[in-house]
Amino acid sequence: MSTMLPGSWQAVLGEELAKPYFQELTEFVEEERGRHQVFPPAEEVFAALEATPYDRVKVLILGQDPYHGPGQAHGMCFSVRPGVTVPPSLRNVFKELGDEYGYPMPDNGYLMPWARQGVLLLNAVLTVRQGEANSHKGKGWEKFTDAVIKAVSARAEPAVFVLWGNYAKKKLPLIDTERHAVVQGAHPSPLSAKLFRGSRPFTQIDTALKAQGHDPVDWRIPDLADGAK
Q: Which pTM value belongs to this model? A: 0.95
Within a domain: residue 225? no
Q: How many domains does the chain have?
A: 1
Show the domain range for 37: 7-212
Calculate ∠ Cα 200-201-207, nearest 5°: 95
Q: What is the CATH number of the domain that holds 54?
A: 3.40.470.10
Full pLDDT tens readout for the chain, 229 residues: 555 798 899 999 999 999 999 999 999 999 999 999 999 999 999 999 999 999 999 999 999 999 999 999 999 999 999 999 999 999 999 999 999 999 999 999 999 999 999 999 999 999 999 999 999 999 999 999 999 999 999 999 999 999 999 999 999 999 999 999 999 999 999 999 999 999 999 999 999 999 999 999 999 999 987 554 4
Within a domain: residue 42? yes
Catalytic residues: 65
Within a domain: residue 221? no
